[in-house]
Structure formats: structure tokens, C-alpha cells
Amino acid sequence: MGEKIQTIAMIGAGFMGIQIASRAAVHGFSVRMFDVNTDILKAAADGVKNYNDMHFQTNEGDPEKAMALVTYHEDLADALKGADLAIEAIPEELDLKKKVFAELDKLAGPDTILATNSSSIPISKIEGAVTRKDKVMNIHFYIPIPRIYAVDLMRGSETSDDTFNKVDQWVRDINCMPLIVKKECMGFVLNRLWRSIKKDALKIWAGGHADIECVDRGWMIFTGMPLGPFGAMDYVGLDVVYDIEMSYYKDSGDKDDKPPQALKDMVDRGELGVKTGRGFYDWSNPPFFSPDFLDPKKK
Ligand SMILES: NC(=O)c1ccc[n+]([C@@H]2O[C@H](COP(=O)([O-])OP(=O)(O)OC[C@H]3O[C@@H](n4cnc5c(N)ncnc54)[C@H](O)[C@@H]3O)[C@@H](O)[C@H]2O)c1
């Protein structure tokens, strides 16, 4: 195996980019962030600070040092300088990801590993856009990254052992647990399980079979989790959920996989979840951290 991964280029400074960058910096890695939207890039520093504050509640790392390790770049080639690993966290659209991978392939150094944080798209569908097929793979994180430390790892058709082992080691170095996909799988490991729950939760709601609160309460009581599927989707972002579900649908062509129109209507109305203050729930008065939500006498 060659040198260890030391410097990360984070492509996309949105919800996931901020959290991945933060986790890497907390564990001592230099992170060079890029986003096509300069306003988002400027706002990313505040996001990194907020997530770093969350990390430090778990007593990992040093906040001041971590903040200093993240730099912000308006030029993609600049962001890629010296990067051992570039992680893409841009919207869940196959054509866009292919276009960006082609740019990364052209601009990054010859040894840079290119990875996607896609929630559903196997790297084998993107790898045709690059010449370095041995240096690409899926690295899929879960939110909230400071707390959920599982990460799916999946190879493309030509990913080398050297690439895979370096990334596996890096994931362990940021104190995450790699979940290794042995044979290509739409949705990886944990996310595939989450997908089947999400798909049926949406069907129960869109078919008018039960209210979202009922589904979430059942789930939370059964699993002991602090969120049910609808609360979790509100955190992910309903635009992102819709794109992910469409990605599964496009892959299978099975009508049963098509996300409900009611979800698309919410996205079109701008009801995207926590980030817009309204999704399945009203986030101006979040129900999840109130014990009342699970008290039968109060409902
Ligand atoms: N939201 C989640 O819970 C979650 C969890 C795991 C994985 N993911 C995956 O991570 C990816 C990003 O999701 P997100 O929730 O961070 O989305 P987001 O919308 O918050 O962020 C995407 C960012 O990409 C930027 N962008 C768009 N085109 C770009 C380009 N050509 N170059 C650089 N930046 C570009 C946008 O300006 C935006 O800031 C998606 O593939 C999603 O499926 C999301």
C-alpha cells in the first residue's frame, strides 16, 4: 500500500459536505472545500463550526485546531491541490455526478482517489467518466455524522486493493466503522435497510393508511430510536429523499419503486424538512425532543 491519506478535497459544501469535512478535521486531516455556489461556500465555515461543536460534545479532538485545518476554495483546481482523496457530496443526479467526476479526473493529481457520498448510485455507474477507474469508490456517510459513525464502502468494477485499503484505513482513522459491501448492491449495506423502511413508510402515508405520527411513534417505541422514519426524512431533506427514491426507480424501472406524487408535491411547495422549517413536521416546534410525543395520555 502506498502513502496514507492525509489531505481531503470536499466537493460540495452543503449539508453532507460540512459534516464530512468537520469529522475529517476533528481527526487531524486537512480539508479543502469547494462548492459551485460561493454563498454556500462562505456559509460553510459557520456550518463546520456548529458541527465541530457537536463533535466536541463527544470529546473528540480539539475545536480550534480542527477549524484551522479546513480551507475554502472558489476554484476547483485549487481545492484539489495536494488532495489524496476527493469526496463528492453534490446533488443525487447521475449526469451531474458524471460531469463532476470527469472534471475531477482532469484536474486532480494522478494519485488522487475520487469517491462519491451518493446515497444510492453505485460508483460503477459513474466510473465511465474517469480514466482512473482503479482509484474510485463509494464512501457513504450517515447523519448526523458526529454521532452515527457507520460508513458504507463499495468498490467499482476496477477499484484496486490499494485504493480500497487506503480508504478503509482513513475511515477508521476518523473513528468510523466501515460497513464493507462485498458484491455491488444498490443502497450499500445499512442504507439499503433504511431504504426499505422509508419506501414502505411513504406508502403507508401516501395511501392514507395511517398518520405519520403513528408510524413514527410505533418505530420509536419498537426500536428505542429518537426519530421515526418521517422525522429522519425531514432531517435528510425531502428534495434529497425524492432524488434518492427516483434514483432507485430509474435503476429498477419498477412502478412499485416510484416515490409517491404527494412527496413530489411537498418538494415543489418548498416543504423540504428541517432546513426549510416545514416538512412532514412543523420544525418551528419540533416534536421529537418532547417526551409528550410518546405519552399516550397526552395524545
Ligand atoms: N442528506 C443526507 O442525509 C444524506 C446522507 C448521506 C448521503 N447523502 C448524499 O450526499 C450528497 C449531497 O447531499 P446533501 O444533503 O449534502 O445535499 P445539499 O443540497 O445540502 O448539498 C449539495 C451541494 O452541492 C453543491 N453543488 C452542486 N453542484 C455542484 C458542483 N458541480 N460542484 C460542486 N458543488 C456543487 C450545491 O451548491 C450544494 O451546496 C447526495 O448525493 C446525497 O444523496 C445525503
Residue 3: per-residue pLDDT: 84
Query: Ligand 1 pocket, 100 CB below 6 A?
Result: yes
Phi, psi of 234 (to 5 degrees): -60, -35
What parts of the chain have a pLDDT lower than 70? 1-2, 54-59, 285-294, 298-299
Domain 191-293 of CATH type 1.10.1040.10? yes
How far CA 187 is from CA of 31, 49, 179, in Å, comes to: 27, 30, 12
Give the pLDDT confidence of 140-159 residue by residue, as tens digits.
999 888 888 999 999 999 99
Residue appearing with cell numbers 453505485: 122
CA-CA distance, 149 to 19, in Å (whole number)? Answer: 12
pTM (2 d.p.)? 0.89
Query: Ligand 1 pocket, 38 CB below 6 A?
Result: no
**Which atom, in ligand 1's list, is nearest to the CA of 41?**
39
Residue 127: per-residue pLDDT: 98
Q: What are 274's three cell numbers?
A: 428541517
CA-CA distance, 30 to 24, in Å (whole number)? Answer: 7
**Which atom, in ligand 1's list, is nearest to the CA of 243?**
43
Domain boundaries, the chain: 7-180, 191-293
CA-CA distance, 165 to 173, in Å (whole number)? Answer: 12
The answer to whether the peptide bond before residue 144 is cis (omega within 30 degrees of 0) is: yes
Residue 64: per-residue pLDDT: 80
Residue 157: per-residue pLDDT: 98
Atom 11 of ligand 1, nearest CA residue: 89
Atom 21 of ligand 1, nearest CA residue: 14
Architecture label for domain 7-180: 3-Layer(aba) Sandwich (3.40)
How many other CB atoms are found less than 10 A from the CB of residue 40? 16
What 3-state DSSP class applies to 189? coil
- Quick one: CA torsion of 208, 210, 212, 218, rounded to 10 degrees? -160
Q: CA 2, 119, 213 angle in degrees (round to 5)?
A: 145
**Which atom, in ligand 1's list, is nearest to the CA of 275?**
20
227, 198 Cβ separation under 8 angstroms: no
Query: Ligand 1 pocket, 90 CB below 6 A?
Result: yes
Q: How many Å separate Cα 187 from the centre of its chain? A: 12
Query: Ligand 1 pocket, 12 CB below 6 A?
Result: yes
Query: Ligand 1 pocket, 11 CB below 6 A?
Result: yes
CA-CA distance, 194 to 235, in Å (whole number)? Answer: 14
